[in-house]
Structure 1
Amino acid sequence: MPVTSVEKDLDQLTFTIIADFTVPVRRLWDAYTDPRSIERFWGPPTYPATFLRHDAAPGGRSLYRMTGPEGDEHYGYWEWLAVSPFDSFEVSDGFADATGAANTELPTVHMTYVFEGTDDGSRLITTSRFDSLEQLEQLLDMGMLDGVNQAMSQIDDVLADLASFAAGRAADAQVLSDTQVRVARVIRGSITDVWRAHNDAELMKRWLLGPDGWTMPVCELAVNVGDRYRSVWQPAEGGEGFGFTGELLESEEPHRAVTTESMIGLDAPATLNELTLTPVEGGTLLSIVITYANVEQRDMILGTGMTDGMETSYARLERVLQKEAVPLL
């Protein structure tokens, strides 16, 4: 078990947990910033977590759901206050409802995570700060410390398996709920490279093609929030094509972009696509959370081979970036 000490300071309204690991700092850092990894240990074994959003950047937000043995669901969130890559990050940690709105009836905790190298590997120092002694005692009475200990007891297995998320692993789709799917892949390239690859029309026409044999003659970008985009694909040898259009709802370069997406000419509800880019060992973790109108739409789109087409495009993107060595600022 990695926890080596727990210290309470009632005068400073803090408690600090120190945990030691036999892996490098970078692997430990990635375990916390990769949503596929943190959700494998963040919740106690009987209340596993699913991260519906995880923006490891200042101003970002995370939203997670813990599901109990009886199917009961409990939501929490992080507001990312500061990030010093591979050294530390600070978040406000609070309770939420199913929509992600903060539950103001329960305490919010200011948490600082400090990552240090040691002779044997790495150390994580987690300090929780409370606004009052009553808040501290309330959360301790709710079993917060026991929950943290149970969660931390799972992290060694996750760290040992973290290599499975290395660059080169194919894109995979994880069903998060009846209406949400997360597609994730590590792209061998910097976060700046990958961001520009999604915001440079000429570059997009070279990689965002899905299976071989298609072209992208139309790529009209949404530059500012509120703008609309339009993309059209056609078979290289001629024939009927297809296209998508939508609106840019959020943009936080180079970490996050949120768009709607509708197939041109099809009378169907738009999806909501949340793109998050996170630097990880081996490149940039690209994560897209797609929200559908219902489970039928989710299953229909997944059944089209969407994930395979995305993987082909991402593999092509890596080749384009490596071949061109695009000088991105």
Structure 2
Amino acid sequence: MTVVSVDKDVEALSLTVVAEFDADVKRVWRIWEDPRQLERWWGPPTVPATFETHDFTPGGKASYYMTTPDGTKARGWWQFTAVNAPDHLEFDYGFADDQGARMDHQGAAHATVKLEPIGARTRMTMSTTFESEEQLQKVSEMGMEEGLRQGIGQIDALLAEPANA
């Protein structure tokens, strides 16, 4: 199993996912850096993501939508706050409206991704902090924890392919 642990800490307003992969840090970095690879795992298999923009630089923005089985598109945005190849990434993120504009009234979250070598493998720790307990509860009710498990569960197959696939 790729996902080693999922820890929700209500006091710290955080959700942390730890996963391990049979690939080196630089290869795992590519699944964040390349939007076509990111699309293949960001979200559960039944709700794939499509990245419309992906400016993978500090201050850069990404916009995407996830398509549910009934065809509904749920939109989101990212703003990269740190991009330190090949092992550290941070971004703010949240929901977007039908035109892709930020829906600030729903709040934003902050994600920190750290990649570290463990022998020939890589440990990825993705920690998300939320603005409020209500926001954390809402995304939990929406299935964020299970969605992350399922999404990250798709990474092993992606990593088994050539890096430029």
Task: Give your verdict on TM over 0.5.
Answer: yes
Q: Distance in 1 between matches of 2:124 and 2:148?
A: 13
1:9 Cα deviation after fit: 2.1
Q: Report the 3-state secondary structure (helix = DSSP H, G, I; strand = E; otherwise coil) of the residue aligned with 1:161.
A: coil
Relative to 1, partners in 2 of residues 1:162 and 1:100: Cα closer, same or farther, differing over 3 Å? Answer: farther
How high is the sequence identity, in percent, across the aligned residues?
A: 42
Conserved? CA contact 1:62–1:78, under 8 Å: yes
Amino acid in structure 1 at the alignment position of 2:62: S
1:164 Cα deviation after fit: 4.1
Relative to 1, partners in 2 of residues 1:162 and 1:98: Cα closer, same or farther, differing over 3 Å? Answer: farther
**Greater mean alpha carbon deviation, residues 30-39 or residues 102-111:** 102-111
Conserved? CA contact 1:35–1:51, under 8 Å: yes
Q: Report the 3-state secondary structure (helix = DSSP H, G, I; strand = E; otherwise coil) of the residue aligned with 1:147.
A: helix
1:40 Cα deviation after fit: 0.6
**Other-structure match for 2:135:** 135
Conserved? CA contact 1:21–1:120, under 8 Å: no
**Other-structure match for 1:24:** 24
Q: Distance in 2 between matches of 1:104 and 1:114?
A: 26
Amino acid in structure 2 at the alignment position of 1:49: A
**Other-structure match for 1:80:** 80
Q: Within 5 A, what are the aligned runs for 1:59-78?
A: 59-78=59-78
Amino acid in structure 1 at the alignment position of 2:14: T
Q: How far does the alpha carbon of each residue in 1:161-204 deviate from its partner, in whole angstroms, 9 at most, with x for none?
A: 14343xxxxxxxxxxxxxxxxxxxxxxxxxxxxxxxxxxxxxxx
Q: Distance in 2 between matches of 1:56 and 1:68?
A: 26
TM-score (norm 1): 0.49
Name stretches of at least 5 consecutive residues in structure 2 with no aligned partner.
Answer: none
Conserved? CA contact 1:88–1:113, under 8 Å: yes
Q: Does 1:47 align with 2:19?
A: no
Conserved? CA contact 1:5–1:18, under 8 Å: yes
**Other-structure match for 1:119:** 119
**Other-structure match for 2:109:** 109
Relative to 1, partners in 2 of residues 1:162 and 1:65: Cα closer, same or farther, differing over 3 Å? Answer: farther
The higher radius of gyration belongs to: 1
**Other-structure match for 1:58:** 58
Conserved? CA contact 2:27–2:159, under 8 Å: yes
Conserved? CA contact 2:54–2:63, under 8 Å: yes
Q: Report the 3-state secondary structure (helix = DSSP H, G, I; strand = E; otherwise coil) of the residue aligned with 1:105.
A: helix
Amino acid in structure 2 at the alignment position of 1:94: G
Q: Distance in 2 between matches of 1:2 and 1:106?
A: 31
TM-score (norm 2): 0.95
1:104 Cα deviation after fit: 2.4
Q: Distance in 1 between matches of 2:65 and 2:31?
A: 18
Alignment size in residue pairs: 165
Conserved? CA contact 2:30–2:163, under 8 Å: no
Q: Distance in 2 between matches of 1:5 and 1:65?
A: 26
Relative to 1, partners in 2 of residues 1:164 and 1:33: Cα closer, same or farther, differing over 3 Å? Answer: closer
Q: Distance in 1 between matches of 2:163 and 2:114?
A: 22
